Chains A and B, each alone.
Chain A
Amino acid sequence: MSDAIVTVDNCTKTYSRGAERVEVLKGVSLQILRGEFVALIGPSGSGKTTLLNLIAGLDQPTTGRVIVAERDISRMDESQLARWRTTAIGFVFQFYHLIPVLTAYENVELPLLLLNMTAKRRREQVLTVLHLVGLQHRLTHRPGQLSGGEQQRVGIARALVTDPALVVADEPTGDLDGRKKEEILDLLENLQRGLNKTILMVTHDHVAAARAHRLTRISDGLLLEERADTKEEALALAFPDAKIRGND
């Protein structure tokens, strides 16, 4: 049994818009190990979200295989995938995407309603994760009554509540800045460090990317070998002008 939670095996993804065919992924292979915090970076339109969606079971590759937690998800149909996602993947979105009419507590509880679980167990689990993200005092607040940073923490709690094998986050700090962004990154880092969560984060922000263990860069539908020994070198390669910005 390998230690890889995610194995992407020579995947391509082609979208056809009418007669026009766009090859977004042109043969991508990638492994993510258990407990890793990986940042997927690359220019806009390079296929980051596309790859993330394949790994998260939201989309199917045109060719190739995706194996997550020992299951070949490229062979599952939508109905199987739906239930599989509930327990296997935790989703964190750039714009939080909480249900506006539900409270923080209820938003986090939502995925658990799909599982066979007593109300008591559900409650324990929801409170645990809300505590983890530091929102135990905001249980009955609606998303509209929370700040962006708080909403994202609810989003993270919702992603964690089913104890998934993998947390995927597409630009989780894209809508936040300054201290709020740092707080969310701290939180993700702590999840990885304290709970040994596996995290795949898409970002094009060097500050966010710097928090990850490993950088994977995608460009024009292909993963680039960074030829870098350390994360710092990889960062410097990926964000050539980041140093200057980092200094001011």
Chain B
Amino acid sequence: MIPLKYNARNLVVRWKTTLMTASGFTLVVAALVVMLAFVEGVQKVCTTSGEPENVIVLAKGNNDEVFSQIDTRLASELENSRGVGRNDAGVPLASREIFLVVHRRLEQEGVFKFLQIRGVQPIAFDVHTQIRIIDGSPLRASQSEVIIGKGVQREHQLNVGDEIEMGRKSWKVAGVFEAGGSAFESEVWADLPELSSQFRREGVYSTMVLRTEGPEAAKELMTQLESSRSISCNPKTEPEYYAKQAEQTQMITSAAWIIAWFMGIGAIFGVMNTMFAAIGQRRKDIAVLRIIGFKAHEILISFLLEAILISIIGGFLGIGFGMSVNGFSRSTAIGAAREVAFAFSVTEGSIIFAACFSLAMGVVGGLLPALSVVRIQPLEALR
């Protein structure tokens, strides 16, 4: 076998070309890693959001809380459905909620951001058991208070004691909560009656969340509601509902894939061009190797490895750059008008995938030039 140092040193000798060619791979691989980290991050939020015991009920024909409207009559019917749990005081574990999205201007940055607001009753904290106050105090009714998810705290730079304008009045941030990384962390929670009156939404709810004994019971309740003739609504288990929301990031993902493919084709042509040039410049080397006794296919492999080496260098840098987004928090729009805070999550799987993608590009780009080596006639090349 022709020693790899032969290829490595040639790459070093023409290091500018090497770096330029490799940078194509870096770009593609970095983009891939970031994209996969984005998808992974959003998916993580959406799959951790929602407890399998909970059934979220929206109005018939609605798939998103923002547009859903449930009236009081339907709400009480749902509340009394078979399978809905009760707390120690015998109150049904049914949370009537309204969900609003407003724009809020961030003074410092001068930009508008979505603010998702959920109006809840005290029972909500028995239904959504993931909620934990991590700073300040719990929500009190009728006190013009809100509690905010830690995603909101970060994105909107709000803290306990700050005031937020919502509706026609100002609300005080009483506490900050976390919710196991779920979408709730991107929300502001306020007292339901107080919020309804501010936004003139009295007597109408967006959703109703029913807590059952367990995942099985939740599924049962869901089918029961679906098949019920007297109740007309759109029930889903919470995990299902949020998984559905994650699907909407598919658009972004597809677009990113298309871009990655095009950049990939660019990188392939780049390495092809570089390798054709390299082979042209090293015809004499090739001739001598052949004369000494190396076979055409051994030289082919050597040049293919050189292309792969470029893809490894580029891919390595790309993975490095891509990984730097790991843990970086952003928010993204999912669903109709909802912004969810998520953290880019670079997984082992996506690194392996990106590395393989880079290698594959190297092989594809290097193959044609390497095959051309076979056609070089040693005696002609030395003349």
Q: Which residues of A contact B (CB under 8 A)?
A: 53, 58-59, 79, 82-86, 91, 93, 97-102, 106, 110-111, 113-114, 158
Contact = CB atoms under 8 A, between A and B. Distances in A.
A114 B379 CA distance: 21
B1 interface: yes
Contacts of B89: none
Contacts of A102: 5-6, 9
Contact of B288 (A59, A83, A99, A114): A99
A82 B10 CA distance: 25
A216 B3 CA distance: 40
Contacts of A91: 291-292
B382 to A, nearest CB: 7
Contact of A97 (B5, B6, B295, B382): B382
A101 B1 CA distance: 17
B293 A85 contact: yes
Closest 5 CB pairs of A and B: A86-B293, A101-B9, A97-B288, A85-B293, A82-B293
B287 to A, nearest CB: 8
B379 A86 contact: no
B288 A113 contact: no
Contacts of A110: 289, 292
A114 B294 contact: yes
Contacts of A79: 295
Contacts of B378: 58
A101 B6 contact: yes
Interface string B353-383: 0000000000000000000000000110010
B285 interface: yes
Interface in B55-83: none
A93 B295 contact: no
Given A53-B379, A97-B382, A102-B9, 17 more contacts: A58-B291, A83-B293, A83-B295, A84-B293, A85-B292, A85-B293, A86-B292, A86-B293, A91-B292, A98-B288, A99-B285, A100-B13, A101-B10, A102-B6, A110-B292, A114-B294, A158-B292
Contacts of A114: 292-294
7 contacts: A79-B295, A86-B292, A91-B292, A97-B382, A100-B13, A100-B285, A101-B9
Contact of A113 (B3, B284, B285, B291): B3
B5 A106 contact: yes
A113 B379 contact: no
Interface string B1-44: 11101100110010000000000000000000000000000000
Contacts of B287: 97
B290 interface: yes
Interface in B278-337: 284-285, 287-295
User: Most chain-B CB neighbours within 10 Å: which of A53, A59, A106, A113?
Assistant: A113
User: Most chain-A CB neighbours within 10 Å: which of B1, B13, B288, B290?
Assistant: B288
Contacts of B292: 85-86, 91, 110-111, 114, 158
Given A101-B13, A102-B9, A85 B3 contact: no
